[in-house]
Structure 1
Amino acid sequence: MAIQPVVLAWSGGKDSSLALAALRADPMVEVVALVTTITGDFDRISMHGVRRSVLEAQVSALELPLIEATIPAAASNAIYEEALATALALVRQRHPDVRNLAFGDLFLTDVRAYRERLLPPLGWTPLFPLWGLDTAALARDFIAAGYRAILTCVDTTQLGSEFAGREFDTELLGALPATVDPCGERGEFHTCVYAGPIFQHPLAVQTGARVRRDDRFEYCDVTLGIMEERREAL
């Protein structure tokens, strides 16, 4: 059986990191590229609020090519879908045989159904390598495997703003309210991964300013440390 090429929807966070690890563990799969949605107004990963410079450092440490789907702030689904279609067409130009786009979705059936409606007309099949896994166990395994991540965005209607900027570690898991999914699957929080088995080397990052957007989302800026900036400049 031929090895199956796969593209991964990369958010820079823990779920897409675990999805990449799962795909790479399958000897019949080859991840050939990453696709990331960028909010052009802020030049950051959509929803997660991660700077392009940090994204580029992640991609460099993953040794995978990146294709961007750029959208404006507060983009409609139609605008997002057009941007994604454009990005996937570019992927297809570079990798004519690829047909599968993987996501780090865990259990939200409406999100999965949306992707399953959206992609086939574009000539793509969605894959969900983490689907149905226990999120509490997944969060613990993520930490135990040596991954390091920072909460970059918190939905303050579901979780206190003080969690923005915290490390995703066992102490944080113990502090999460019972109503919050350990992986933030309902959008309670988003993360930026800066170290772990999938990377060739850890990223030197630091947390910075915090900002509230839409009277709801608390963002914590993550920037590259001096050593990482020097590495990226080489």
Structure 2
Amino acid sequence: MAKFQSYKGLINKSNEICKFTIENKSNVSTSKKALFNWSSGKDSALALYKILHNPDYKIEYLLTSVNQQYQRISMHGVRVDLLEAQSKSIGIPLKVMQIPEMPTMEVYENVMTETLTELKNQGITYSVFGDIFLEDLRKYREEQLAKIGFEGVFPIWKIPSHDLIQEFISLGFKTIVVCVNERYLDKSFVGRIIDQNFINDLPENVDVCGENGEFHTFTFDGPIFSEPINFKAGEIVYRKYEKPQNQNSSDAACDTNTSDAFDYGFWYCDLIKE
């Protein structure tokens, strides 16, 4: 039986004054209706924090892709019940996209188009992302969105990674590493809370925000939450993805476009809701 470590004790009780409240503003009717592409991790949390402070936009939904077979957040491996707990604490409805295991680009894009078309019928025409500096990814997103009549919004774009992670920590956010790519990091990094010690331990070739797919996180406390997400850390597992025979298959599972991406595996830390 795996040992479980509770993270109730990491709740930042002194941060109550920083809790973010969405106020009813007189100009809410003129705000642009938007959805937020929510990964459950730190970049999403910081980008959401910033867009919620921007009166030009009103976030109607958190949109998250979930592995249909395992019912976990794509790539991050986080269980759906923890995702739902985040949505409830943030106070924004959740919209889940069910994605097959290792989908082709055609399948993924069809699901996305169907979902966004449904949301567009509700007057939503903006899609917000937590991307930082991957130019090709942004170009792809914007091209796909334009086909459906959406516009992309990138609140933390081109802000230096070191500045972002320090701002994230100083705001009182708490996040745990749930997945690492063994191409960049070993097993010892998964399951760790991101703090200054974690940052100091990162190899020089690893972006401190993991923007190149080096690691992924689950954010469980901070100013966008009405209450922290209680969980315990379970077993750490290793998984290696088979290279798809269909060259049109999505590389989303490995979150990289490098030709040798499938030569490397991933370490995951399972999180269990309390």
TM-score (norm 1): 0.92
User: What CA distance in whole angstroms lies between the structure 1 residues aligned with 2:105 and 2:141?
Assistant: 12
AA at the equivalent of 1:78: E
Larger radius of gyration between Structure 1 and Structure 2: 2
Can you list the C-alpha shifts for 1:38-67, whole angstroms capped at 9, x where unaligned?
A: 011110000111100100100000111111
- Which residue number corresponds to residue 232 of structure 2? 206
Q: CA deviation at 1:92?
A: 2.6
2:128 to 81, 102, 109: 102
User: What CA distance in whole angstroms lies between the structure 2 residues aligned with 1:62 and 1:89?
Assistant: 25
Gaps of 5+ in 1: 226-234
After superposition, where does 1:1-234 map in structure 2 within 5 Å?
2-93=30-121, 95=122, 97-214=123-240, 216-225=265-274
TM-score (norm 2): 0.79
- Compare 16-25 and 83-92 and name the one that shifted more: 83-92
CA contact (8 A) 1:68 1:87 kept: no
Aligned pairs, how many? 223
CA contact (8 A) 1:41 1:72 kept: yes
User: What CA distance in whole angstroms lies between the structure 2 residues aligned with 1:17 and 1:68?
Assistant: 17
Can you list the C-alpha shifts for 1:173-206, whole angstroms capped at 9, x where unaligned?
A: 1111111001000000000000000011111111
User: What CA distance in whole angstroms lies between the structure 1 residues aligned with 2:106 and 2:238?
Assistant: 26
AA at the equivalent of 1:212: Y
Determine what percentage of the aligned residue pairs are the same residue.
Answer: 37
- Compare 188-197 and 62-71 and name the one that shifted more: 62-71
Q: CA deviation at 1:11?
A: 0.5
- Which residue number corresponds to residue 228 of structure 1? none
AA at the equivalent of 1:219: Y
AA at the equivalent of 1:137: D
User: What CA distance in whole angstroms lies between the structure 2 residues aligned with 1:135 and 1:78?
Assistant: 32
CA contact (8 A) 1:67 1:91 kept: no
Q: What is the root-mean-square deviation of aligned Cα atoms in Å?
A: 1.2
* Partner SS for 2:179: strand
Q: CA deviation at 1:158?
A: 1.1
